[in-house]
């Protein structure tokens, strides 16, 4: 618009297009056998080797492949790279983690030997208790049968001294104190009555009820009555005066409530003791940190206490209704030590109990030992649930507690400190197993049931970019990996497949092409050969060789992540070839030197199997092909680059959902996508750095006809000019004939 005369003008600003996040944070999903960790179908996020070892353990015969894969991941991608780990154990029902065959080790700690113990029951709720008048505890003890303790309580009341009607006057008052509180003044206004000079009992009660706090008023025996809201002996109504009392004639002074409790809505521990001991012979009630323990006055196996289910107050106290017998002289079981996770590692765990460092008799120190060496120390614990040093509060949390064990309080009936575990060293834990007997491909493939998920399906709710399953290079599992990534994860997860152990080039070709039928199966996935060597991390476990052989998928995943994060759109780069960015830095060798022979590579590379080879002093990845060379995206960089764009668009265009499909709707989608694609183009992700040659994006009316909009659909189309890797570098060598050619040309011209 041209500026002419001075004015205030309103112009609509074009809306800014939301931007799509182009940053890269490659996430690994890893499934396999671990020394410990959850077996309930859930996974855990880990970002470093210490985090991994805290949750999943270390180097064992069975966990080698998984542990090595994660070490390779962080060695190549860097500490802090995100991984989600799922543990595999055998289940008797596919997809049902509750049918796992792995188990936790256990150990029970006892108290010191003591005298005979009385039967007793402890409330689950602490005082005070919100009861009702007439509530009961029906208690059976020893051979004495049942007796009933009943709570009684009535509210304080005070009634007018004469019958109505009452000749009140406007602004007359009465002064009332409720439950010993401050005096309250009730003022009678003429507007509150039909005729204040002949006020009825009902009218007087209504005015008092509306203005008193902590009390009600009603009509009793034709007279207005004031009644405290509180029921019990601390309830009180005291009419102390006022100009209207000459007419109403309330008796002055306090009128108390009655009962065997001061306030039935807040019954104290002392009141419980008095009521129960008065009504039920042969028992004693003690207050343990606010909780009520009812104990028989006898001891030994014949001693017992039971709160009967016909009680009406047992739910407020949270007493159970089972019989609690006493014990003969001797020790009681007091704490059970459970392995935190299922696994045979529990057989290496012992525990030690010593006197508390702080010198308090009702505290103790607790140590966890592995193979006889202390690995965890917890000082000054107790068995008081309300204490901040309660042993279960300190040891049991997964994030901050013990790496190896959790505790179960068995609620020994001996009073503290007699209920503490006896000092000494105990164990090892028994009964723990890894659940690997009968382990099959089905346990890795997993499934979904009403009871949860197992195998690959445990990753369903986890965001991820790369999937590896180290230690299970079988046809069934690797086909399941491809299917999971392609179907369940809608093509947005990329599996790196490991070669089976010990295969020659010819055997690898047979496995890949015939046995597993992976050749030309899908663009989702890549295969490498051979397996790799790393420094032996535990010679006590793996023998004295300097190196051990492990699957390469973790190392390769780390290289993928490193290349991804090397620039915006790094996923379009092929994670192969020479150069520090692309080559593995954490391996010491390969399983077979056959890969160094060109004949072996000539056999496998045309089959889309990428060799891990060596030229000079460095190992390198000699190929970036996906399983299927005849698809749209035949290389790792192309396929994963397209996946990167797809994932970013899927989240970046969510702002369009449920918006009206008017022209501005399509314009916003075009702006947002174009800005993102231009950024990738400038970062050299495509065949050209000119947007018009790098990609095409259509979100126009040709794709979005009225019939399409009628279906509530908005269709766009993105075509990308990706680039293939240079696999064959050809140099033509011949003689330099320029001088001869010039001489011949001169002769011909002369």
Same domain, 719 and 596: no
Same domain, 476 and 610: yes
Same domain, 405 and 383: yes
The rounded distance, in Å, linking the Cα atoms of 649 and 652 is 5
3 within domain boundaries: no
11 within domain boundaries: no
**Tens of pLDDT, residues 622-675:** 999 999 999 999 999 999 999 999 999 999 999 999 999 999 999 999 999 999
Same domain, 742 and 616: no
Instruction: Indicate whether 14 pLDDT > 70.
Output: no
424 within domain boundaries: no
Q: Average pLDDT of the chain? A: 94
106 within domain boundaries: no
Same domain, 183 and 48: no
Cβ–Cβ under 8 Å, residues 452 and 41 = yes
Q: Which of 211, 224, 248 is nearest to 157 (CA)?
A: 224
* The last residue of a domain, from among 236, 259, 282: 259
Same domain, 192 and 317: no
Same domain, 476 and 579: yes
Cβ–Cβ under 8 Å, residues 202 and 219 = yes
Helices and strands of the chain, counted as H and E runs: 18, 37
Task: Indicate the SS3 state at residue 688.
Answer: coil
Sheet holding 609-615, edge to edge: 44-46, 83-87, 28-32, 466-468, 494-497, 526-529, 609-615, 618-621
The rounded distance, in Å, linking the Cα atoms of 9 and 499 is 71
Same domain, 136 and 58: no
Q: What is the pLDDT of residue 202?
A: 96
Specify the CATH number for the domain of residue 350: 2.60.40
Return the bridge partners of 86, or none.
31
Domain membership of residue 715 as a residue range: 658-750
Distances (CA, A) of 359 to 134, 212, 224, 382, 393: 47, 55, 64, 12, 21
Provide the token pair at 110. 């006892």
Q: How many domains is the chain built from?
A: 5
**Tens of pLDDT, residues 514-543:** 999 999 999 999 999 999 999 999 999 999
Instruction: Indicate whether 126 pLDDT > 70.
Output: yes
What string of DSSP letters covers 302-325? T-EEEE-TT-SSHHHHT---S-EE
Per-residue pLDDT band at 23 (split at 50, 70, 90): confident
Cβ–Cβ under 8 Å, residues 272 and 319 = no
Q: What is the 3-state secondary structure (H, E, C) of 339-359?
A: ECCCCHHHHHEEEEEEECCCC
What string of DSSP letters covers 605-648? GGGTEEEEEEETTEEEE---B-S-TTSS--BHHHHHHHHHHHHH
104 within domain boundaries: no
Q: What is the pLDDT of residue 384?
A: 93
Per-residue pLDDT band at 1 (split at 50, 70, 90): low
H/E segment holding residue 216? strand 215-220
649 within domain boundaries: no
Instruction: Indicate whether 208 pLDDT > 90.
Output: yes
* Direct distance between the N- and C-terminal alpha carbons of the chain, in angstroms, rounded to an integer: 73
Q: What is the pLDDT of residue 478?
A: 98
Same domain, 444 and 367: no
Same domain, 603 and 717: no
459: left (phi over 0), alpha (psi -120 to 50) or beta: alpha
The rounded distance, in Å, linking the Cα atoms of 382 and 417 is 9
Once rounded to an integer, what is the mean pLDDT over residues 474-492?
97
Same domain, 590 and 513: yes
Once rounded to an integer, what is the mean pLDDT over residues 265-284?
96
What percent of the chain has pLDDT above 90? Answer: 89
Provide the token pair at 561. 């992540």
Per-residue pLDDT band at 413 (split at 50, 70, 90): confident
Instruction: Indicate whether 3 pLDDT > 80.
Output: no
Once rounded to an integer, what is the mean pLDDT over residues 468-496?
97
432 within domain boundaries: no
Specify the CATH number for the domain of residue 571: 3.40.50.11780
* The last residue of a domain, from among 237, 259, 281: 259
Same domain, 502 and 557: yes
Per-residue pLDDT band at 77 (split at 50, 70, 90): very high
Decide: pTM greater than 0.85.
no
Per-residue pLDDT band at 13 (split at 50, 70, 90): low
139 within domain boundaries: yes
* The last residue of a domain, from among 201, 232, 259: 259
Instruction: Indicate whether 190 pLDDT > 70.
Output: yes
Cβ–Cβ under 8 Å, residues 340 and 405 = yes
């Amino acid at each position: 618009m041209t500026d002419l005369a001075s004015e205030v003008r309103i112009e609509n600003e074009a809306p800014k297009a939301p931007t799509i996040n182009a940053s890269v944070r490659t996430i690994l999903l890893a499934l396999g056998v671990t020394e410990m960790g959850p077996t309930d179908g859930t996974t855990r996020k880990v970002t470093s080797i210490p985090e991994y070892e805290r949750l999943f353990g270390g180097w064992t015969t069975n966990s080698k492949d998984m542990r090595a894969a994660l070490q390779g991941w962080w060695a190549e991608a860097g500490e802090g790279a995100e991984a989600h780990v799922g543990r595999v154990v055998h289940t008797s029902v596919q997809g049902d983690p509750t049918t796992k065959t792995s188990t936790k080790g256990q150990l029970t700690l006892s108290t010191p030997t003591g005298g005979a113990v009385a039967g007793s029951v402890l409330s689950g709720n602490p005082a005070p208790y919100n009861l009702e008048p007439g509530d009961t505890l029906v208690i059976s003890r020893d051979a004495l049968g049942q007796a009933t303790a009943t709570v009684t309580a009535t509210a304080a009341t005070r009634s007018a001294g004469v019958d109505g009607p009452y000749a009140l006057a406007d602004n007359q008052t009465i002064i009332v104190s409720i439950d010993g509180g401050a005096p309250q003044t009730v003022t009678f206004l003429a507007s509150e009555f039909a005729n204040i000079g002949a006020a009825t009992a009902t009218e007087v009660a209504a005015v008092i009820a509306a203005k008193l706090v902590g009390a009600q008023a009603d009509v009793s025996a034709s007279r207005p009555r004031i009644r405290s809201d509180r029921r019990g002996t601390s309830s009180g109504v005291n009419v102390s005066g006022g100009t209207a009392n000459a007419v109403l004639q309330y008796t002055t002074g306090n009128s108390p409530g009655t009962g065997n409790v001061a306030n039935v809505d807040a019954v104290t521990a002392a009141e419980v003791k008095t009521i129960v001991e008065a009504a039920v012979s042969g028992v004693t009630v003690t207050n343990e940190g606010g909780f009520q323990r009812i104990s028989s006055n006898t001891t030994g196996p014949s001693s017992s206490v039971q709160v009967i289910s016909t009680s009406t107050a047992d739910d407020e106290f949270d007493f159970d209704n089972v019989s609690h017998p006493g014990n003969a002289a001797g020790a009681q079981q007091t704490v059970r030590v459970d392995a935190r996770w299922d696994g045979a590692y529990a057989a290496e765990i012992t525990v030690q109990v010593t006197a508390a460092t702080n010198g308090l008799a009702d505290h103790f120190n607790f140590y966890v030992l592995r193979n006889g060496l202390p690995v965890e120390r917890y000082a000054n614990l107790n068995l008081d649930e309300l204490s901040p040093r309660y042993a279960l509060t300190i040891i049991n949390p997964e994030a901050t507690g013990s790496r190896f064990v959790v505790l179960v309080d068995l609620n020994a009936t001996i009073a503290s400190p007699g209920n503490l575990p006896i000092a000494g060293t105990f164990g090892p834990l028994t009964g723990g197993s890894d659940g690997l007997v009968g382990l099959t491909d089905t346990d890795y493939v997993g499934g979904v049931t009403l009871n949860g998920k197992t195998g690959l399906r445990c990753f369903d709710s986890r965001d991820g970019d790369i999937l590896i399953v180290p230690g299970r290079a079988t046809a069934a599992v690797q086909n399941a990996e491809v299917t999971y990534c392609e179907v369940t994860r809608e093509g947005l997860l990329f599996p790196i497949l490991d070669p089976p152990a010990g295969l020659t080039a010819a055997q690898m070709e047979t496995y890949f092409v015939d046995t597993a039928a992976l050749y030309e199966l899908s663009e989702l996935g890549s295969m490498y050969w051979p397996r790799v060597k790393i420094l032996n991390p535990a010679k006590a476990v793996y023998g004295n060789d300097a190196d051990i052989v492990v699957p390469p998928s973790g190392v390769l995943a780390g290289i993928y992540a490193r290349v991804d994060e090397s620039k915006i759109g790094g996923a379009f780069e092929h994670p192969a070839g020479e150069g520090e960015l692309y080559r593995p830095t954490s391996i010491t060798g390969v399983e077979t030197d056959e890969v160094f022979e060109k004949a072996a590579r000539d056999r496998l590379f045309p089959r889309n199997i990428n060799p891990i080879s060596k030229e000079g002093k460095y190992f390198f990845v000699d190929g970036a092909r996906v399983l299927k060379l005849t698809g749209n995206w035949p290389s790792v960089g192309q396929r994963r680059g397209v996946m990167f764009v797809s994932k970013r668009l899927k989240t970046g265009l969510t702002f369009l959902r449920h918006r009206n499909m008017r022209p501005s709707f399509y314009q916003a989608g075009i702006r947002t996508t174009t800005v993102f694609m231009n950024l990738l183009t400038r970062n050299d992700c495509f065949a050209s750095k000119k947007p018009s040659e790098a990609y095409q994006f259509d979100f126009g009316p040709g794709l979005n006809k009225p019939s399409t909009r009628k279906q509530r659909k908005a269709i766009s189309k993105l075509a990308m000019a990706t680039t293939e890797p240079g696999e064959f570098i050809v140099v033509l060598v011949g003689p330099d004939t320029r001088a001869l050619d010039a001489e011949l040309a001169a002769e011909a011209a002369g």
